[in-house]
């Protein structure tokens, strides 16, 4: 009897009651017959792998780590964690050069940025795309995120004094995308924060959160990044600062994947690391105010990114957008857009990636919004490329709607 | 975050409550830690009572058509069970003799549909039966992974290629007056079952498969969609873990994902389901309700919880959370004024609501009526739009 009460397995896999609910929500299983599906790959497979690592199935690499199986599971099985942990433990194939390149978002960014116009020109050329496709197996249909000539860090450093003048302060984990590809989002965050009377400062040299390394079989490097980031976050937290973010995936990775997949203890910083949307909502709830333009009228369709769904914080984005006068809000059915970070960039996944997103794309077309809102940068690339509708982070929408 | 009502549990009971409250103009949220028992739903509400009109309207507005006929329905293993209130695509017959001859259709490589049991069962009722397997190029991809060739994967394909199935059936059909098909139609496109019926010159009967249930998932999706359209918020995958209770009132609840951000409301509805959904938890010593620690009615002696004859009625299935006459939860013998309990977490302690899905819907509607009555009477200030500037 004691035994029954005190035994619990890794990732709760013995709680699985074989109900198959997770299989109905796995986006990959819908399109790729080579993937064994969450139940097989997760709890069922775990039982076999514990008996003999021989049972590790390489097809687990098709899992996008979207966590939709976990959100659906009524029994609290950490299905996706089990799958990713098995890949880390048993898959000894070294990552391909292509995967290493795709995974090293900050390294790539710092190399490419000084040459932004050239890089953008070159990666946009048909010939380059064909070469990338043939040599590195990066699908030619992909549009590459553009590199910005000036980094966000540089911009914020130039505005350090003004920011420091605000009575209240937050630190901002901007992530690779804001720094190298889209500094405007960072500037939008600063605008909204400033409107609330809060100044924004940088962390003491953040690194890429490492999610792309985790999914590309480079967990050693990911762990180094995680340890570094927990260190710099802690410095900020020790000064009494909250740290805000604008990317759901970076946030989710640092809050949840660091301890569960990389064994990096983040307990000292976890509670202080928040999506900016949550911090803003909480400020407003406590009485702060934002003034909005009277002439802002937009139909906005919100897409919940997979990691936001898992984290459960989409509600803050939803409530903030609904609160802007002049916004007609539509909640899109929660479904994966198919990009899943670097997954959709790989030639072997391109077709699956587009097929996964198809339902979402056609819903967006039928809603016909002015803007699709979403808190994830890779979803933005995917949805913009596949539908032609503009995608904005809720923070940018807030900034735009401010008086 | 503040709401008028927070509903814990996103199954049939929670969604029904959420829909009616949103419709009445409340600002609500549903929090649900995983998918619900609707994924096992047969399509029939296991209660013979007349459907409340309120329910029929609510479901119709969500795009779910119900019909009410007293009779029997065909079960997945070829037996028949008394039924009445059902989804549109579930047939109810006056007697188990549903025709003269049946053509039973299955898909090549699909193991979750028991065509031979169905044939045996129908033969017992005097029908001649033929089982035929059909194959379509669209299913070949699924056949590569036999363990994952399940109802939902097939249903996704069928939304696109159901017309080919109709053609195949027309070719196979001889003089049968009944065609039995697995319930794998109309997952997204709800018109498909009806169009198949139109296209096949015989009575088409959709029979249950192993889970997940396609009509159940469809019902869930439509209810959820309608709820969101009416402005309700769903916190999917989150879990209520505890509550702040002062003087017999719930002030707020704490959730796993929102940690220090509490959910406040004037009223709360507990719709966390039975053992399957962990609304009730049993261990060797007790049966308990994990979120609020409410009083649960069950027999003291554990040996009487179950009946050793497996197929018989099991006493533990009847156990449930105690409530007062108005579905208020009871904790340490005291009713909690603003917490209502609905759905299968009630066990069978509330016979006036019927059983199973009927209990879920009827108790949810009763709780909603009570909440709306309290709100009107007290002239309670509505928490709607707590952030209007
Ligand atoms: C396998 C099975 C098959 C069934 N088939 C039928 C049928 O064919 N016909 C019929 O009439 N009835 C059937 N029933 C009975 C069924 O229980 C009811 O019909 C009805 O669906 C119950 O609805 P509910 O909303 O009360 O609970 P559920 O559908 O169980 O929903 C409860 C929800 O609450 C969530 N939850 C639990 N704890 C928490 C928490 N702490 N925080 C947040 N969320 C939480 C769960 O994840 C779940 O989503 C079946 C039941 C089972 C288990
Ligand atoms: S949903 Fe959860 S319990 Fe059901 S099969 Fe999947 S992992 Fe197991
Ligand atoms: S994480 Fe996503 S892709 Fe992987 S098994 Fe779960 S649902 Fe499927």
A31: enclosing H helix or E strand: helix A27-31
- The CA distance from B244 to B290, in Å, is 14
Strands B249-255 and B263-270: antiparallel
Q: Is A67 in the pocket of ligand 3 (CB under 6 A)?
A: yes
By CB neighbour count within 10 A (0-12 exposed, 13-18 middle, 19+ buried), where does B378 fall? exposed
Closest Cβ–Cβ partner in B141, B153, B235 for A312: B235
Q: Which of B370, B168, B134 is nearest to B269 (CA)?
A: B370
A340 with A101: CB under 8 angstroms? Answer: no
CB contact under 8 Å between A76 and B36, yes or no, is no
pLDDT for res B384:
47
Convert the pLDDT of each residue in B148-198 to its tens digit: 788 999 999 999 999 999 999 999 999 999 999 999 999 989 999 999 999
Residue carrying the six token digits 């001649």: B128
Convert the pLDDT of each residue in A358-382 to its tens digit: 999 999 999 999 999 999 998 998 9
Distance in Å, alpha carbon of A77 to nearest chain B alpha carbon: 10
Regions of chain A with pLDDT less than 50: 1, 111, 114
Residue carrying the six token digits 């008028």: B4
CB contact under 8 Å between A21 and B35, yes or no, is yes
B63: enclosing H helix or E strand: none
The alpha carbon of A69 and the centre of ligand 3 are apart by a number of angstroms equal to: 6
Q: Which of A64, A76, A66, A13 is nearest to A40 (CA)?
A: A13
The alpha carbon of A9 and the centre of ligand 1 are apart by a number of angstroms equal to: 25
- Chain B hits for A281, CB-CB cut-off 8 Å, are 1, 387
The alpha carbon of B233 and the centre of ligand 1 are apart by a number of angstroms equal to: 20
Convert the pLDDT of each residue in B46-95 to its tens digit: 766 777 788 889 999 999 999 988 899 999 999 998 888 899 999 999 99
A290: nearest CA partner in chain B = B389
Distance in Å, alpha carbon of B385 to nearest chain A alpha carbon: 8
The answer to whether residue A3 neighbours chain B at the CB level (below 8 Å) is no
Closest ligand relative to B364 C-alpha = 1
Delimit the domains of chain A by residue range: 3-90, 291-401
Q: Is A82 in the pocket of ligand 3 (CB under 6 A)?
A: no
Q: What residues pair up with A220 in beta bridges, in sequence order?
A: none
A302: nearest CA partner in chain B = B228
CB contact under 8 Å between A313 and B258, yes or no, is yes
* Shared fold status for A3-90 and A291-401: no
Distance in Å, alpha carbon of A60 to nearest chain B alpha carbon: 14
Write the class of the CATH domain B65-211: alpha beta
Convert the pLDDT of each residue in B250-294 to its tens digit: 999 999 999 999 999 999 999 999 998 999 999 889 999 999 999
CB contact under 8 Å between B233 and A278, yes or no, is no
Quote the percentage of chain B above a pLDDT of 90.
73
Write the class of the CATH domain B2-40+218-384: alpha beta
Size (chain B), residues: 389
Give, using CA atoms, the residue closest to atom 8 of ligand 3: A26
What is the DSSP secondary structure assignment for residue B50, as one 8-state letter?
Answer: P
Convert the pLDDT of each residue in B101-147 to its tens digit: 999 999 999 999 999 999 999 999 999 999 999 999 988 888 887 77
Domain with CATH 3.40.50 in chain B: 65-211
Give, using CA atoms, the residue closest to atom 4 of ligand 2: A19
Q: Is the pLDDT of residue B352 over 80?
A: no
A73: nearest CA partner in chain B = B34
Closest Cβ–Cβ partner in A21, A278, A282 for B39: A21
For chain A, how long is the longest CA-to-CA vector?
68
The Cβ of residue B162 has, within 10 Å, a number of other Cβ atoms equal to: 21
Distance in Å, alpha carbon of A158 to nearest chain B alpha carbon: 34
The Cβ of residue A234 has, within 10 Å, a number of other Cβ atoms equal to: 15
pLDDT for res A351:
82
A275: nearest CA partner in chain B = B258
The alpha carbon of A273 and the centre of ligand 3 are apart by a number of angstroms equal to: 25
Convert the pLDDT of each residue in B9-54 to its tens digit: 999 999 999 999 999 999 999 999 999 999 999 898 876 677 778 8
Which residue has better confidence, B362 or A195? Answer: A195
Give, using CA atoms, the residue closest to atom 27 of ligand 1: B273
Domain with CATH 3.50.50.60 in chain B: 2-40+218-384
A383 with A369: CB under 8 angstroms? Answer: no
Share the mean pLDDT of chain B.
91
- The CA distance from B287 to B294, in Å, is 11
Q: Is A189 in the pocket of ligand 3 (CB under 6 A)?
A: no
pLDDT for res B46:
72
> Residue B6: helix, strand or coil by DSSP?
strand
B152: nearest CA partner in chain A = A24
The alpha carbon of A18 and the centre of ligand 2 are apart by a number of angstroms equal to: 5
In order, the DSSP letters of A131-187 are: HIIIII-B-TTPPPPPPPSS-HHHHHHHTHHHHHTSSEEEEEE-HHIIIII-HHHHH
- The CA distance from A397 to A375, in Å, is 11
- The CA distance from B385 to B389, in Å, is 9
Distance in Å, alpha carbon of B153 to nearest chain A alpha carbon: 6
R_g of chain A computed on alpha carbons: 21
- The CA distance from B291 to B287, in Å, is 13
CATH code: domain A3-90 is: 1.10.1060.10
Residue carrying the six token digits 């997954």: A343
Architecture of domain A291-401: 3-Layer(aba) Sandwich (3.40)
The answer to whether residue A19 neighbours chain B at the CB level (below 8 Å) is yes
State ipTM.
Answer: 0.88
Q: What residues pair up with B102 in beta bridges, in sequence order?
A: B129, B178
Pocket of ligand 1 (CB under 6 A): A 74; B 8-14, 31-38, 40-42, 44-46, 239-240, 271-274, 276-279, 291, 343-344, 356-357, 360
Task: Tell me how far the alpha carbon of residue A13 is from its chain's centroid.
Answer: 25
Q: How far is CA A370 from CA A120, A292, A329, A364, B380, in A?
A: 27, 18, 11, 10, 38
Is cis: bond before B212, omega within 30 of 0? yes
> Residue A295: helix, strand or coil by DSSP?
coil
The alpha carbon of B289 and the centre of ligand 1 are apart by a number of angstroms equal to: 15
B269 with B5: CB under 8 angstroms? Answer: yes
């Amino acid at each position: 009897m004691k035994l029954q009460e005190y035994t619990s397995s890794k990732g709760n896999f013995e709680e699985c009651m074989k109900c198959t609910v997770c299989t109905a929500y796995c986006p990959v299983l819908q399109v790729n017959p080579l993937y064994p599906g969450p139940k097989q790959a997760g709890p069922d497979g775990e039982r076999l792998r514990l008996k003999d690592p021989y049972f590790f199935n390489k097809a687990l690499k098709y899992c996008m780590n979207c966590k939709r199986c976990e959100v659906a599971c009524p029994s609290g099985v950490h299905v996706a964690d089990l799958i990713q942990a098995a890949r880390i433990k048993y898959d000894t194939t070294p990552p391909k050069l292509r995967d290493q390149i795709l995974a090293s978002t900050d390294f790539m960014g710092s190399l490419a940025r000084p040459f932004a116009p050239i890089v953008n020109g070159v990666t946009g050329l048909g010939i380059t795309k064909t070469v990338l496709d043939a040599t590195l197996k990066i699908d030619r249909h992909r549009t590459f995120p553009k590199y910005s000539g000036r980094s966000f860090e540089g911009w914020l450093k130039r505005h350090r004094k003004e920011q420091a003048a605000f009575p209240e302060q937050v630190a901002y984990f901007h992530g690779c995308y804001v720094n190298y590809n889209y500094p405007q989002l960072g500037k939008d965050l600063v605008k909204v924060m400033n409107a609330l009377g809060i100044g924004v400062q940088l962390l003491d040299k953040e690194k890429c959160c490492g999610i792309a390394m985790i999914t590309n079989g480079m967990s050693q490097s990911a762990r180094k990044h995680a340890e570094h980031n927990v260190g710099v976050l802690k410095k900020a937290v020790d000064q009494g600062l909250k740290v805000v973010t604008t990317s759901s995936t970076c946030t989710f990775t640092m809050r949840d994947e660091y301890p569960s997949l990389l064994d990096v203890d983040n307990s000292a910083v976890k509670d202080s690391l928040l999506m900016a949307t949550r911090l803003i909502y909480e400020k407003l709830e406590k009485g702060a105010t934002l003034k909005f333009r009277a002439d802002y009228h937009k139909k906005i369709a919100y897409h919940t990114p997979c990691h936001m769904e898992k984290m459960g914080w989409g509600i803050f984005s939803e409530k903030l957008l609904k609160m802007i006068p002049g916004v007609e809000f539509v909640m899109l059915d929660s479904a994966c857009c198919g990009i899943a970070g670097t997954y959709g960039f790989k030639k072997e996944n391109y077709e699956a990636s587009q097929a996964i997103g198809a339902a979402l794309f056609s819903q967006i077309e039928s809603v016909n919004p002015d803007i699709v809102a979403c808190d994830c940068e890779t979803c933005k690339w995917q949805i913009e490329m596949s539908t032609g509708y503009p995608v904005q982070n809720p923070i940018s929408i807030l900034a735009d709607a401010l008086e | 975050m503040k709401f008028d009502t927070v509903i814990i549990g996103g199954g049939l009971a929670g969604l029904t409550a959420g829909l009616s409250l949103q419709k009445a103009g409340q600002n609500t949220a549903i929090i649900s830690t995983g998918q619900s028992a609707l994924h096992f739903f047969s399509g029939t509400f296991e209660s013979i009572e007349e459907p409340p009109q309120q329910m029929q309207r609510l479901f119709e507005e969500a795009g779910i058509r119900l019909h009410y006929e007293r009779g029997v329905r065909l079960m997945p293993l070829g037996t028949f069970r008394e039924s009445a209130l059902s989804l549109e695509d579930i047939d109810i017959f006056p007697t188990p003799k549903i025709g003269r001859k049946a053509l039973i259709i299955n898909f090549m490589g699909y193991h979750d549909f028991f065509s031979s049991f169905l044939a045996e069962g129908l033969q017992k009722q005097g029908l001649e039966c033929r089982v035929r397997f059909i194959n379509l190029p669209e299913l070949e991809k699924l056949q590569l992974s036999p363990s994952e060739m399940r109802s939902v994967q097939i249903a996704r394909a069928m939304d696109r290629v159901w017309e080919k199935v109709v053609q195949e059936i027309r070719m196979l059909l001889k003089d049968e007056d009944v065609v039995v098909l697995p319930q794998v139609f109309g997952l997204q496109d709800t018109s498909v079952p009806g169009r198949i019926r139109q296209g096949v010159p015989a009575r088409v009967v959709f029979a249950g498969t192993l889970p997940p249930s396609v009509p159940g998932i469809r019902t869930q999706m439509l209810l959820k969609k309608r709820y969101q359209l009416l402005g309700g918020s769903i916190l999917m995958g989150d879990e209520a873990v505890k509550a702040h209770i002062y003087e017999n009132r719930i002030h707020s609840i704490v959730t796993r994902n929102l940690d220090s951000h509490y959910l406040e409301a004037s009223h709360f509805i507990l719709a966390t389901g039975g053992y399957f959904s962990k609304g009730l938890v049993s261990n060797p010593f007790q049966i308990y309700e994990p979120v609020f620690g409410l009083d649960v009615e069950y027999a003291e002696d554990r040996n009487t919880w179950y009946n050793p004859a497996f197929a018989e009625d099991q006493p533990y299935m009847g156990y449930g959370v105690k409530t007062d006459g108005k579905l208020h939860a009871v904790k340490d013998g005291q009713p909690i004024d603003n917490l209502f309990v609905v759905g299968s977490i009630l066990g069978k302690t509330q016979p006036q609501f019927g059983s199973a899905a009927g209990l879920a819907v009827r108790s949810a509607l009763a709780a909603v009526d009570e909440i709306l009555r309290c709100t009107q009477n007290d002239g309670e200030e509505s928490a709607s739009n707590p952030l209007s500037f």
